[in-house]
């Protein structure tokens, strides 16, 4: 009887132990899921807290502009900037290639600036258009891609503007034999060096993650390494640009007081003044954003202010080509010819430098002149009349 009682007790205890084990496992799984959900919630709350501390919660995005605007408005604005800016930058590059007065080795730096702007209007802005069109939220990878290209094109433009200032000074103020030392190979090497220098600087900044991170909305103070790099890569080229342009203007005004310069010199000086206006335009678009980033290191500024200023600075790449069309006659003429050739499908002839021929004139120029001014080029209009016997004009051969 005692043995039977022990067996019954053992059998009765088995389900109880199984239920207890099952309950313990369920409790462990539930606790693990609870801790996982709690960790996710804590991360999301931390991200929201960072956004709130920065003064904005999903207000202005570094990829898709302000959420207060409608989706259609943002899509139309960015698409217009991308299309108009890309076409304008392509026209600017083509104008330097096809227009004879602009087809000079020093203007390769202008092509480099237009190429950097084309990267922004042809890659950076279209990515934002695709994100808005797809209706997705911004991702860290997309934001990093855009801001990396923006920083790269910004550094290339700053360095190239300094090279343009030096080249303009050498072209207008130095003797011809000294300017001849600036060969096409030298200019190509300088352009490649500028791109490599900008790539190295951007890679180092991304690798060591120094300074503010706009994609993660960590608008912290500027690190010492980033301040030193900005001083070398932005401050020094800016001072070089100002120095050469001021010196150029002083020397040109001093020389032009005594004699009238030739037409080629006037055209080059006109292009130089357009380059100066381009530098001023670059400062107008980018200086507010740079000052806001510097001030944010001492006094916190709202993230919506920084992102709006960043988008304003980014739009510079869409309007720089229009400045050259308005301010320089040769760019304007080339734009008109390119427009007629691309849009109207008409045959246009671009000017060419006279090579060979009698008197240094090109045969095509002579044919064009005879075709346009036919009455002045005909033999009957060039021979003087000496008498009119029997009512007829007699010309002296």
Averaged pLDDT score across all residues of the chain: 77
pLDDT above 90: residue 42 = no
| Record: fold of 61-344 | Rhopdopsin 7-helix transmembrane proteins (1.20.1070)
In this prediction, residue 46 carries a pLDDT of: 42
Model pLDDT, residue 218:
72
- Tokens representing 314 are 């980014």
% of the chain surpassing 70 pLDDT: 70
| Contact predicate 62/146, CB 8 Å | yes
Q: What is the mean pLDDT of residues 222-250?
A: 89
Residue-range domain boundaries for the chain: 13-53, 61-344, 363-395
Quote the pLDDT of residue 298. 81
Q: What is the pLDDT of residues 367-381, one digit of tens each?
A: 333 332 233 233 444
Using alpha carbons, select from 269, 229, 225 the residue that is nearest to residue 248.
Answer: 269
Q: Average of pLDDT values for 196-208?
A: 89
Distance of CA 36 to the CA centre of its chain: 44
* pLDDT tens digit sequence for 132-165: 888 777 788 888 899 899 999 999 999 999 999 9
Nearest 10 degrees: Cα torsion 205, 211, 212, 214: 0
| C-alpha pair distances (Å), 243 with each of 9, 112, 229, 230 | 101, 21, 21, 19
Rounded Cα–Cα distance for residues 120 and 114 (Å): 10
pLDDT of residue 353: 53
């Amino acid at each position: 009887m005692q043995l039977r009682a022990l067996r019954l007790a053992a059998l009765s205890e088995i389900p109880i132990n199984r239920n207890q084990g099952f309950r313990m496992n369920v409790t462990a799984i539930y606790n693990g899921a609870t801790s996982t959900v709690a960790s996710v919630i804590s991360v999301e709350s931390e991200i929201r807290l960072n956004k709130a501390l920065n003064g904005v919660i999903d207000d202005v995005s570094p990829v898709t502009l302000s959420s207060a605007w409608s989706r259609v408005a943002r899509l139309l604005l960015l698409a217009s900037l991308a299309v108009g800016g890309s076409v304008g930058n392509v026209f600017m590059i083509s104008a330097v290639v096809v227009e004879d007065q602009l087809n000079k080795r020093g203007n390769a730096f202008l092509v480099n600036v237009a190429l950097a702007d084309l990267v922004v209007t042809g890659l950076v802005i279209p990515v934002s258009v695709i994100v808005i069109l797809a209706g997705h939220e911004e991702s860290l990878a997309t934001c990093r891609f855009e801001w990396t290209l923006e920083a790269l094109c910004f550094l290339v433009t700053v360095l190239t503007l300094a090279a343009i200032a030096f080249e303009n000074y050498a072209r207008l103020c130095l003797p011809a034999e000294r300017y001849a030392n600036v060969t096409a190979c030298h200019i190509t090497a300088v352009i490649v060096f500028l791109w490599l220098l900008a790539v190295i600087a951007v890679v180092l900044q991304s690798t060591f993650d120094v300074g503010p991170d706009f994609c993660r909305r960590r608008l912290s103070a500027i690190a010492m390494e980033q301040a030193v790099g900005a001083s070398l890569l932005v401050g020094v080229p800016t001072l070089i640009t100002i120095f050469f342009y001021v010196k150029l203007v002083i020397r040109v005004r001093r020389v032009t007081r005594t004699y009238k310069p030739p037409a080629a010199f006037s055209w080059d000086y006109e292009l130089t003044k357009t380059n100066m206006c381009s530098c001023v335009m670059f400062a107008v678009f980018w200086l507010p954003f740079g000052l806001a980033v510097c001030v944010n290191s001492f006094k916190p500024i709202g993230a919506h202010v920084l992102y709006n200023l960043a988008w304003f600075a980014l739009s510079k790449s869409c309007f720089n080509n229009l400045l050259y069309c308005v301010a320089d006659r040769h760019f304007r003429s080339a734009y008109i010819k390119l427009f007629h050739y691309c849009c109207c499908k008409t045959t246009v002839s671009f000017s060419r430098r006279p090579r060979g021929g009698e008197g240094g004139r090109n045969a095509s120029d002579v044919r064009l002149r005879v075709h346009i001014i036919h009455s002045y080029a005909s033999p009957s209009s060039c021979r003087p009349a000496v008498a009119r016997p029997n009512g007829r004009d007699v010309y002296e051969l």
